[in-house]
């Protein structure tokens, strides 16, 4: 059996790991979105780019 202090340490480690994975996922997702936006900029019109930019800004505030 683990002592209460050991359990607390293990729970804290799991919490930090979970938080780190969530942060990494958000950054990766934001990078994917950035690449999509860059591709639209290369191919699209100014109207399309403006529409995409405003949509992204409203949806993903980070």
- 28 or 18: which carries more pLDDT confidence? 18
pLDDT tens-digit profile of 20-30? 998 988 888 87
- 52 or 4: which carries more pLDDT confidence? 4
Confidence of residue 14 (pLDDT cuts 50, 70, 90): very high
pLDDT tens-digit profile of 35-62? 777 777 777 666 666 776 676 655 555 4
Residue 62 contacts residue 26 (beta carbons within 8 Å)? yes
Question: Smallest Cα–Cα separation from 52: which of 29, 23, 43?
Answer: 43
Q: What is the pTM (predicted TM-score) of this model?
A: 0.50
The pair of three-digit structure tokens given for residue 2, joined into one six-digit string:
């683990």
């Amino acid at each position: 059996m683990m002592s209460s202090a050991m359990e607390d340490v293990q729970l804290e480690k799991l919490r930090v790991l979970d938080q780190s994975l969530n942060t990494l996922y958000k950054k990766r997702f934001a990078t994917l979105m950035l690449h999509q936006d860059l591709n639209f900029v290369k191919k699209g019109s100014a109207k399309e780019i403006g529409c995409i930019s405003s949509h992204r800004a409203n949806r993903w505030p980070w």
